[in-house]
């Protein structure tokens, strides 16, 4: 087996490209901003250029393939991004555009390498499956907590795509049908309670209502600068409001996941993404709520952890797509 593969993680803010070993270690990595305004042609050209660079950091003929993850609904068999609300506003034939760029660049190290493609949450789930859980595990749920809330499902050691590749939309499971309107057009989606923006918004509302909190001091009075990182720092210093917000977020996550635990009886739930950096602040109330709300046996069976790969989960997971059995390459 060839020692390396290339991972590409395309996010709304940044793109990461890395050369990764078969056991998931990063050999070299480049990160650069996603210049959405410049259009997908230029973005893909820049990606191919960076892929050339990281491949050159390893030995000749040592690369098994290239894997990519990107946000949005992806019709994964064709490698098309069908709908990606935070990025491109039309269907983009990613795979064929990338293949064309590789051909026109003419880098012999890239020509003919198999390309793998999946949505960012599925890639994260695959990364977590490879790196965060024991080898005996067959089923897991990965929840990516950021601005949006995504999900990936591993069943029988494979990424589960469903009928058309849209499976895993955990963020749009309905927590409260009478709840606030979500970007997806629906009401009361879990994302509206657990997404980074919603957490910050709820906290802001409490402060404006007169709740005391050290958050104002931490952002030097500029409440518009508050992030989930601020909330983490405040909670760690004992701030009551911040702690309450994390507890509440963990509880909302736990209620939604209890349903999934009842439905899928998974072996592991792995949390990833920026908001998951809150660690036990979110994990403890989430675990407690799952225990309260899911059936006793299924709740006992599931282990809930936070991915140890942090920000690298996407790029490592993408590189390891090459290692899937029966994976479709392009």
Q: How many CA atoms lie within 13 A of 52 on its CB side?
A: 16
Separation of alpha carbons 35 and 80, rounded Å: 19
Phi-psi region of 151 (alpha: psi -120 to 50; beta: other; left: phi over 0): beta
Give whichever of 34 and 122 is closer to its own copies, judged by the CB atom.
122
Shortest Å distance, C-beta 173 to its own copies: 4
Give whichever of 193 and 232 is closer to its own copies, judged by the CB atom.
193
DSSP for residue 182: P
Contacting residues for 260 by C-beta, under 8 A, at least 6 apart? 141, 170, 173, 266, 269
Q: Is 85 helix (H, G, I), strand (E, B) or coil?
A: coil
Give whichever of 55 and 125 is closer to its own copies, judged by the CB atom.
125
Shortest Å distance, C-beta 212 to its own copies: 28
Shortest Å distance, C-beta 304 to its own copies: 13
Shortest Å distance, C-beta 138 to its own copies: 8
Q: Which secondary structure element, helix H or strand E, spans residue 55, and what is its range?
A: helix 39-56
Give whichever of 41 and 91 is closer to its own copies, judged by the CB atom.
91
Q: Residues in the site for its own copies, rule: CB under 8 A? A: 73, 82-83, 139, 151, 153, 155-156, 160-170, 172-177, 184, 186-187, 255, 258-260, 262-267, 292-295, 297-298, 301-302
Separation of alpha carbons 301 and 303, rounded Å: 7
Give whichever of 58 and 79 is closer to its own copies, judged by the CB atom.
79
Shortest Å distance, C-beta 210 to its own copies: 26
Backbone angles phi, psi at 117, to 5 degrees: -145, 135
Give whichever of 60 and 163 is closer to its own copies, judged by the CB atom.
163
Shortest Å distance, C-beta 46 to its own copies: 29
Q: Where are the beta strands (DSSP E) in the chain?
A: 4-10, 14-21, 26-33, 63-70, 73-75, 80-83, 92-93, 115-119, 140-145, 149-155, 158-159, 268-272, 303-306
């Amino acid at each position: 087996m060839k020692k390396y593969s290339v991972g590409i993680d395309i996010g709304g803010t940044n793109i990461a490209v890395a050369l990764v070993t078969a056991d998931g270690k990063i050999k070299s990595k480049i990160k650069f901003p996603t210049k959405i305004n410049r259009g997908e042609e230029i973005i893909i050209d820049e990606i191919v250029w960076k892929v050339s660079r990281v491949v050159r950091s390893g030995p000749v003929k040592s690369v098994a393939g290239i894997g990519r993850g990107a946000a949005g609904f992806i019709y994964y068999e064709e490698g098309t991004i069908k709908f990606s609300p935070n990025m491109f506003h039309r269907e983009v034939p990613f795979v064929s555009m990338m293949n064309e760029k590789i051909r026109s660049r003419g880098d012999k190290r890239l020509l003919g390498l198999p390309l793998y493609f999946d949505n960012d949450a599925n890639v994260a789930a695959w990364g977590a499956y490879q790196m965060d859980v024991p080898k005996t595990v067959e089923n897991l749920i990965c929840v990516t907590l950021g601005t949006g809330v995504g999900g990936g499902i591993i069943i029988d050691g494979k990424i589960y795509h469903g009928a058309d590749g849209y499976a895993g939309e955990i963020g749009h499971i309905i927590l409260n049908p009478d709840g606030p309107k979500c970007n997806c057009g629906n009401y009361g989606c879990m994302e509206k309670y657990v997404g980074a923006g919603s957490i910050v918004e709820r906290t802001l509302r409490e402060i404006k209502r007169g709740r005391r909190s050290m958050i104002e001091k931490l952002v030097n009075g500029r409440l518009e600068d508050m992030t989930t990182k601020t909330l983490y720092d405040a909670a760690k210093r004992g701030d009551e409001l911040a702690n309450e917000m994390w507890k509440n977020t963990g509880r909302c996550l736990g209620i939604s996941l209890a349903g999934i635990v009842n439905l899928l009886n998974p072996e592991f739930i792995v949390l990833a993404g920026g908001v998951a950096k809150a660690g036990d602040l979110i994990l403890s109330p989430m675990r407690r709520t799952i225990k309260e709300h899911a059936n006793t046996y299924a709740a006992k069976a599931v282990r809930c952890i936070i991915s140890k790969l942090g920000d690298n989960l996407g790029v490592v997971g993408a590189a390891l797509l090459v290692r899937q059995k029966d994976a479709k390459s392009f």
